[in-house]
Amino acid sequence: MTFEHILFTIEAGVATLSLNRPEQLNSFNAKMHGEVREALKHVRQDAEVRVLLLTGEGRGFCAGQDLADRNVAPGSEAPDLGESIEQFYNPLIRALRDLPMPVICAVNGVAAGAGANIPLACDLVLAARSASFIQAFCKIGLVPDSGGTWSLPRLVGMARAKALALLGERLSAEQAVEWGLIYRCVDDVDLRDEALKLARHLATQPTYGLALIKRSLNASFNNSFEEQLELEKDLQRLAGRSEDYREGVSAFMAKRTPSFKGR
Amino acid sequence: MPHTLAVQTLDQVRLISLQRPQALNALNTQLLGELADALAEAETDPGIGAVVITGSARAFAAGADIAEMAQRDLVGMLDDPRQASWQRITAFKKPLVAAINGYALGGGCELAMHADILIAGSDALFGQPEINLGIMPGAGGTQRLLRAVGKSMAMQMVLTGEPISARQAQQAGLVSEVTQPELTVERALQIAHAIAAKAPLAVRLAKEALLKAMDTDLASGLRFERHVFTLLAGTQDREEGIRAFQEKRRASFTGH
């Protein structure tokens, strides 16, 4: 599939989606949103795809919304930003969170605004050492969107979440790891390789079970302890019926390497 | 064989699946007719103790068949053959459990509300979007919905056409349980099997008494309850149920 603002490939179970407006630090315009949506729809429907890798081209990961695409001339009517959230960002965040497979995000450079929060909707976030996260919204009178106000306090605690959101200061990749915002930080030159290595590993794993793990962890912030125990029961019931579980157990008993099909 | 349904018998439970996938199970005249027939068949079959009705993973039923409805003018609506099917569905006497995944909109939401027990997948959506087409709910949507979710939510749903989620539906009391979407039908079947193992006469009269509460005043409802409660005193299954309880064993009901 060819797109104008993203690169999208599928190879050996790994779908790679790279934001590709490097001159604009991969900021989103309507067309890029449309292309990402189409690619994610494909990822969802293609049974061969077992992991998604999301990254960006050039020196930035994503600078959020392309403000040039939002026409707020002085004296003109106030825009309905809620409309753009409803139409573009919320569906994107939901799509990433709900994909029935692990989503790896390789943050290759600056991640600002919505671009800082999109990785937080992914499952495993790697960042280049030179990358940074900036909740830039407060600088222009806006509120962190794309799930930021939900994810941040859960990942780094309320005190740090408020500092990040109210000050809009740059958070280095290393600091982000230390704070628990992301999983790992690697040298810039190694980012692609490390992310791909992780993706290729996950593409050989029991994808269906991984999807259920993702579902249970995603639900845990909203559930009570009792509800979560119930959910674990139901998801384990489903997992226990998968081909991969049978394969996993018989490989373990036979002391051989399992060959998972992802279902 | 019905064309728009798949009907299975699983021990004492009949599972009816709506099957018009190309139309998201839109309820046309044929489907409603076949559904009413299938329920009538389950009702007269002494081997069946409860019925589960479901749709697909994407849609329980996304509404009425709009193309079909568009052809009817005022007089056509007066003679709408679907009305007779709805009445037959409403009159079904055995317990009806709905397993709802995906869209339950318009007629689909109304059909779900015909069930005695509603089990929803966490991705289910309930709504009455008729208002968007310049019409309104016509199969109980303004009546059963209000009784289930209360006035404000019912008004909001019917007047804006905006759907509610499975969780909202549970909080409001429209559905009794929300499950993982893959387990919705299984859970509904479990409940149906549990009911089918009870004394059939007691189940039937208890259902009737509960439905009475929807359309009568408390005093009349209590009087009705007392009548049917007394009626059960004449059944063999009551004797068996009480004796089994005293003897600490599982009751074996015959329906007499």
- Secondary structure (DSSP) of A55-109: EESTTEEE-SB-GGGS---TTSPPP-HHHHIIIIIHHHHHHHHH-SS-EEEEE-S
Q: Which of B187, B144, B167 is nearest to B54 (CA)?
A: B187
Is B225 noted as a catalytic residue in this protein? no
What would the two tokens of residue A50 be? 């077992």
List CB contacts (< 8 A) between B123 and chain A. none
| Interstrand relation of A124-128 and A184-186 (parallel, antiparallel or unpaired) | parallel
User: What is the mean predicted confidence (pLDDT) over B185-211?
Assistant: 97
ipTM attached to this prediction? 0.80
What would the two tokens of residue A171 be? 């958070």
Q: What value, to the nearest 5°, has the Cα angle with vertex A61 and ends A60 and A62? A: 100
User: What is the mean predicted confidence (pLDDT) over A95-99?
Assistant: 96
Sequence-ordered strand ranges (E) for A129-223: 132-134, 170-172, 184-186
Measure Cα distances from B25 to A144, B51, B59, B119, B187 in Å: 40, 18, 7, 18, 21
The whole-number pLDDT of residue A71 equals 63
Rounded percentage of chain A residues whose pLDDT exceeds 90: 90
State the catalytic residue, choosing from B107, B121, B138, B140: B107
- On the 0-12 / 13-18 / 19+ scale of CB atoms within 10 A, A76 is exposed
Sequence-ordered strand ranges (E) for B37-110: 50-54, 59-61, 96-100, 103-105
The whole-number pLDDT of residue B75 equals 87
The DSSP bridge partners found for residue B155 are none
Does the pLDDT at position A16 exceed 90?
yes
Q: Is B179 in Cβ contact with A238 (below 8 Å)?
A: no
Q: For residue A262, what pLDDT band results from cuts at 50, 70 and 90?
A: confident
Q: Distance from B255 to chain A by nearest Cα, in Å?
A: 34
The residue type of B137 is P
Other Cβ atoms closer than 10 A to A226: 8
Q: Tell me: the pLDDT tens digits for A154-202?
A: 999 999 999 999 999 999 999 999 999 999 999 999 999 999 999 999 9
Measure Cα distances from A41 to A52, A136, A204, B181 in Å: 12, 29, 22, 20
| Interstrand relation of A132-134 and A170-172 (parallel, antiparallel or unpaired) | antiparallel
Element (H, E) at B231: helix B218-232
Is B64 noted as a catalytic residue in this protein? yes
Q: Distance from B179 to chain A by nearest Cα, in Å?
A: 8
Scan residues 52-111 of B and list those with Cβ closer than 8 Å to A: none
Provide φ and ψ at B60, rounded to 5°.
-65, -60
Could you tell me the pTM of the whole model? 0.88
Q: Tell me: the pLDDT tens digits for A207-258?
A: 999 999 999 999 999 899 999 999 999 999 999 999 999 999 999 999 999 9
Q: Which of B226, B35, B25 is nearest to B115 (CA)?
A: B35
Q: Which of B242, B169, B159, B149 is nearest to B199 (CA)?
A: B242
Length of chain A: 263
Q: Tell me: the pLDDT tens digits for A136-167?
A: 999 999 999 999 999 999 999 999 999 999 99
Is B182 noted as a catalytic residue in this protein? no
User: What is the mean predicted confidence (pLDDT) over A92-119?
Assistant: 97
Helix axes B82-90, B107-114, angle to 10 degrees: 30
The whole-number pLDDT of residue A242 equals 93
Measure the CA–CA gap between A155 and A122, rounded to whole angstroms: 13
Is B107 noted as a catalytic residue in this protein? yes
Measure Cα distances from B16 to A118, B23, B88, B113 in Å: 42, 17, 16, 16
Residues 6+ apart with CB under 8 A from A27: A21, A62, A63, A64, A65, A66, A67, A69, A115
Does the pLDDT at position B5 exceed 90?
yes
**For chain A, which residues lie within 8 Å of any Cβ of chain B, measuring from their own Cβ?**
231, 234-235, 237-238
List CB contacts (< 8 A) between A238 and chain B. 180, 182-183
The whole-number pLDDT of residue A21 equals 96
User: What is the mean predicted confidence (pLDDT) over B130-138?
Assistant: 95
Measure the CA–CA gap between A132 and A116, rounded to whole angstroms: 8
The whole-number pLDDT of residue A72 equals 67
